[in-house]
Structure formats: C-alpha cells, structure tokens
C-alpha cells in the first residue's frame, strides 16, 4: 500500500440519534368518551457502532467522512404504538483499531476480531408515553416523557497493526529487504533512510502449511519516543506484536550499543514493550567471515540471535525456526 493510501489516525465527529418523544394521546372512540391514556413510547435513537473487518488495512475510507450521525427515533403514537427506532450507523474498521474520546485521550475500546461489534455512541432512549403515568389519583395524565438526547463527541480512531512479529531497527537495517525475501510482500526498498513510510505486512509461509504475520515498522531513530523522525506515530504499531525482531546490520560500529538504543526508545515510549519476546538478527552478515562472526558473538546481548543475509539467504531458515519456536513456546 502506498504512503498516501495508508491512514492510521482519524479524528471524527459522531452523534448518535435522539430518542423519540412519548405520546400523550388520550383514547377517543365512539361510545368510549373517557377511554383514558393510550400514548405509546418513543423509539430509541440510532447507535454509532464500530465493526471489525479483517479485509481492511487502513482508515483511509474515513478520511473525508468527518461527521457521522445516527438516525432519530420516532415519536410514540395512539393505541400504545411505539415509535420506530432510529437507524444505526455501522462504521467498518480494520482489526487493531482503538477508539478514544478525543478531548480526554481516554480509550473506550479496541476492535480486535472480525465482525466484532461495539457501540461507540448509544442512541438516546425513547420517552415513555402517558399510559405509564396513569395512577389511582391521576386517571388521565396529559403529559409524556420527551426522548433522551443522543451522545455527541469528537472521537479519535487509531490503528495499531496486528502482527505476530514486528521488525524493529534503525533506517536502512534491512527490514524491508528481509520482509520481501521471507514473504510475498513488496515493500519499497532503496539505499537511503526512511524508505519505509508506512508499516508493511507480510505473511510468512512455514513448514506443514503453517504461517505467521510479520510487520515491517518504519525505522526508529534515537529520540523517536519524543516524536523525532517518524516518532511515536509508528511506535504504537509495535504494541500489538507478540515478538519483536530487532535488526542491526553487521557493518554497524557497535551492534550491542545500537540494540540498547533501540531498546531504550521502546522503554521510554512504553515500558511494557520490554515484556515481549525479543530476537536479534544481525543483517547483512554476508559481509562477515566465520572469524568475524565468532568475534562478534562475544559481545551480543543474551537473547536468541542469528546472523542473516537477505541477499545470500544465510540464516533465513534458522531465523524462521527461531521465530516459530519463540512464538509457540
């Protein structure tokens, strides 16, 4: 998906429908001069509902739909007839969408499974008709409840990519190249920083018809948690990954130091990210001979690690095995 077509943040105004008014009708029929109250209830206002759709990957379809209104409930009628409910509005969103109240940045809920429905804004309740207010001391109440007003608010929808493995590394660490080798994804690849401007997803085929999803997250730089570079806009996508695959190129001046900087950026953004399983891949390892690999191993962090090359295929099967073992272990 191209940069212009990937939208992972939308601010939108939603208003659910107002409830219909109850009826204050009095029964009037031939030979029944004092029939008493028979006003029906008003219908409820239409809800604003979010529904998960696993065929969507972006919030692009909402970019120009900034105002969404639920239908109003209809008023109650004679003979205790209830007014029709207002029309619900269902908004389709990709899996991994978080809904927040914009003003408070307060999370309301998350949509994580296909066809999952959650009410964003409830429609107002319909008012009760006068039949509910009849009593021994008031046989002909001439009043009914008005309908309840709907809810209106500015909401924020944030998309957090759902994937099994998230690729974490500085720009030009070889993340996009790896994704293109292990899956059918075709991310943009070039030899300059920030080639990847949107997260790319790839499905990796494994043995016995098994598979898992890998997300290529745009490159992190030092200070990303403060919004530098592409900043926190893409750090949030890492929150959904069960495994973080750190990628540091073999030609880095200090592999361990680069790994620690990446780790610190995640820690500063959200300390809970450090609870995720971590794997380290030393990319571009076709630049190293056996002696250099042995020397490099001595100073690597104590997590599962593998030397790989997306160009020669070195270590790619081992990497897949390692990721699957960590995922299922």
List pLDDT tens digits, range 174-188.
888 898 888 876 655
What average pLDDT score do residues 180-197 get? 59
CA 237: distance to chain centroid?
9
Q: Residue 102 CB: number of other CB atoms within 10 A?
A: 14
What average pLDDT score do residues 138-146 get? 92
Do 170 and 258 sit in the same domain of this protein?
A: yes
End-of-domain residue from the set 159, 174, 200: 159
Do 230 and 277 sit in the same domain of this protein?
A: yes
pLDDT at 161: 81
End-of-domain residue from the set 132, 159, 186: 159
End-of-domain residue from the set 159, 176, 209: 159
Q: What tokens were used for 152? A: 């209106």
Do 186 and 226 sit in the same domain of this protein?
A: yes
What average pLDDT score do residues 113-141 get? 94
Do 40 and 95 sit in the same domain of this protein?
A: yes
Do 267 and 196 sit in the same domain of this protein?
A: yes
Do 107 and 180 sit in the same domain of this protein?
A: no
Do 155 and 245 sit in the same domain of this protein?
A: no
Residue percentage of the chain with pLDDT more than 90:
53
Do 122 and 185 sit in the same domain of this protein?
A: no
Do 155 and 10 sit in the same domain of this protein?
A: yes
Do 277 and 314 sit in the same domain of this protein?
A: yes
80 or 7: which leads in pLDDT = 80
Using alpha carbons, select from 19, 36, 136, 46 the residue that is nearest to residue 80: 36
The overall average pLDDT reported for the chain is 87
pLDDT at 268: 86
224-257: pLDDT as tens digits = 555 554 545 667 778 888 899 999 999 998 999 9
Task: Print the domain residue range for 315.
Answer: 165-328
pLDDT at 173: 81
pLDDT at 190: 45
Do 197 and 144 sit in the same domain of this protein?
A: no
Do 70 and 155 sit in the same domain of this protein?
A: yes
How many domains does the structure of the chain reveal?
A: 2
pLDDT at 217: 78
């Amino acid at each position: 998906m191209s940069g212009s077509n990937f939208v992972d943040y939308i601010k939108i105004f939603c208003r659910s429908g107002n409830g219909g008014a109850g009826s204050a009708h009095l029964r009037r029929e031939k030979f029944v001069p004092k029939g008493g109250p028979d006003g029906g209830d008003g219908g409820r206002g239409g809800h604003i509902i979010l529904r998960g759709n696993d065929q969507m990957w972006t919030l692009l379809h909402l970019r120009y739909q900034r105002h969404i209104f639920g239908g109003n409930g209809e008023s109650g009628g004679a003979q205790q007839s209830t007014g029709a409910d207002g029309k619900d509005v269902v908004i389709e969103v990709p899996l991994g969408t978080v809904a927040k109240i914009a003003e408070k940045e307060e999370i309301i809920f998350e949509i994580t499974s296909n066809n999952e429905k959650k009410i964003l804004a409830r429609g107002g309740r319909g008012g009760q008709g006068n039949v509910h207010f009849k009593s021994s001391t008031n046989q002909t109440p001439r009043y009914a409840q008005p309908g309840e007003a709907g809810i209106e608010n500015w909401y924020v929808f944030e998309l957090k990519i759902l994937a099994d493995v998230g690729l974490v590394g500085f720009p030009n660490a070889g993340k996009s190249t790896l994704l293109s080798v292990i899956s059918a994804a075709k991310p943009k690849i070039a030899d300059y920083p920030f080639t990847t401007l949107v997260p790319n997803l790839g499905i990796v085929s494994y043995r016995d018809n098994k598979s898992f999803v890998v997300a290529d997250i745009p490159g992190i730089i030092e200070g990303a948690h403060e919004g530098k570079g592409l900043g926190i806009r893409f750090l949030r996508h890492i929150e959904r990954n069960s495994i973080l695959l750190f990628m540091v190129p073999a030609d880095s001046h200090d592999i361990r130091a680069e790994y620690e900087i990446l780790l610190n950026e995640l820690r500063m953004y959200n300390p809970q990210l450090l609870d995720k399983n971590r794997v380290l891949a030393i990319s571009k390892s076709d630049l190293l001979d056996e002696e250099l690999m042995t020397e490099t191993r001595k100073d690597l962090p104590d997590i599962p690690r593998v030397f790989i090359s997306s160009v020669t295929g070195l270590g790619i099967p081992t990497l897949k095995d390692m990721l699957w073992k960590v995922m299922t272990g």
